Amino acid sequence: MQILETDFLIIGGGLAGLTAALKLSARGRVLVAVKKEPTESNTSYAQGGIAAVMDPGDSFAHHIQDTLIAGAGLCQRDVVEAIVTAGPPCIRELEKLGLAFERREGRWDEYDLGQEGGHSHRRVLHAGDFTGQEIIRVLLERCREQRRITLRPHLMAVDLATAGEGKARRCLGAWFLDGATGELLGVRATVTVLATGGAGKVYLYTSNPDVATGDGVAMAWRAGLPVLNMEFVQFHPTCLFHQDAKSFLISEAVRGEGAVLKTRDGAPFMERYDPRASLAPRDIVARAIDREMKTRGDDFVLLDITHHSAKFLRKRFPNIYARCLEFGINMARDPIPVVPAEHYFCGGVEADVAGRTALPGLYACGEVACTGLHGANRLASNSLLEALVCACNAAAAILQRPPEKPGVAPPFPDWRASGEAASEEAVVIAHNWESVRKAMWDYVGIVRTTSRLERALARVKMVQHEVAHYFRSYRVTSDLLELRNITDVAALVIRSALHRKESRGLHYTLDYPLPDDAHPPRDTRLQL
């Protein structure tokens, strides 16, 4: 097997991965392993923007408090404070790289800040309604200018490579499947950064792109790292309901500009669920929509922003406006049909605000990590903030490490799994792929019960057994690897949900409908 050598290995090419790569290139060679094309990441699909205190009328105290309220008692306050207060200087670094956030019309000294659910002030910086896409464009341009950074597309991570036992155990890099050749290869690095993003494809309906199969969480768990709070899965309340839209996201910023959620007969309903109405946090809004749909037997609800002019909507939401028009919906005249879809994982690999994990040599940043910022529910637009700040912190921590002495590191381990035979039963992989995702949607969704969770776990365990057999017996393919990862992540979500005997934030179960404020489980911690 070919073994590549680099100083720093970044797995993932979103905001966290590319930010870390740029900073680490000051010290040595950086290899950024991207699963598909460099532009394909969860960051690219982020419409709303980055939450940060950039307005004189706002304050860190307000942003911190909004985050703590949304997190339903499980945020780590010191983590929230550290990330919120680090936001503005990190934003300015992005701007120095060439990212231009929207300014108020005629006022180039003031940001055009958006407001989203759960925020008490306007604090969401944005670049139109395709902020993530613009972030990736700028970061890729800067990375391609650095001779020390190598971007390798079509490298799918298989597993982390580790050596040693006990406290001497460390990460040496990772194994990959090269999509161009179909061959396995290893990448050895002094430091590895997991920045693989989320796991939306674990569910049948998601706002995430196809690359979001939970690869980083699954690999870390298989390597024995602690995984926290996987039961807290955020369902975005408003994805476009259309058979050809593939869960196109209608940004929360639309509600921030006054859009009102209504039933199909035009009646507003959010006031019955929360005094903040359509600007309530996502967990509350998603459950309210789910209940209205089930009670009324409707397939969708309506998001009405027709009180704004077409001119305003085209300027504020150019991407959403154009996309809706493709499906015959004029936002200025027609309420938008929407449904909830899986959007974001608040849980992940246990890591601190500098990305440090329990495995020396391995860091984790962005959605793959669980830092304690989000608690039981993520405040809108805090995700890009966390990815940016923690990537900056991780790079700073890595650069403070003393250089590794030549010849001291243990040898790269041998590949010890997977068969050589070509599978002739690809239909089995496709069937299991759909089976896992449908079971998660049907039984481990917005509203749960113990019996549903147990039913889902039984099905997922059967698939895990089949996948393990396939992995031992047949040649590795990208389809098999993704099935392996979504199945492992699905099992972690279900086991975590069964462990939490209360309803809190994004985890709502009919068997325990109230929060256990007397003895709340701090973290749901799982480890191999």
Q: Is the dihedral of CA 291, 294, 297, 299 positive or negative?
A: positive
Residue 282 falls in the annotated catalytic set: yes
Nearest one of 431, 430, 439, 432 to 203, comparing CA atoms? 439
89-115 burial: b if 16+ Cβ within 10 Å, else e: ebbeebeeeebebbeeeeeeeebbbbb
CA distance 136 to 47: 12
**CB neighbours of 182 closer than 8 A, spacing ≥ 6?**
477
Q: Give the neighbor-by-neighbor strand order of the sheet with 149-152.
A: 149-152, 30-33, 8-11, 191-194, 362-364
Query: Whose CA is closest to 35, among 172, 153, 142, 124?
Result: 153
CA 25/CA 146 separation, integer angstroms: 7
Which residue among 255, 282, 437, 484 is the active-site one?
Answer: 282
* Pairwise CA distance, residues 283 & 470, whole Å: 38
Counting every residue written for the chain, the total comes to 528
**Percentages of the chain per state (helix, strand, coil), in multiples of 5:** 40, 20, 45
Residue pair 283/506 in contact by the 8 Å Cβ criterion: yes
Secondary structure class of 458 (helix, strand, coil): helix
Number of alpha carbons in the 13 Å side-chain half-sphere of residue 328: 4
Nearest residue to 123 (alpha-carbon basis) of 133, 115, 135: 115
277 — alpha (psi -120 to 50), left (phi > 0) or beta?
left
Active site residues: 282
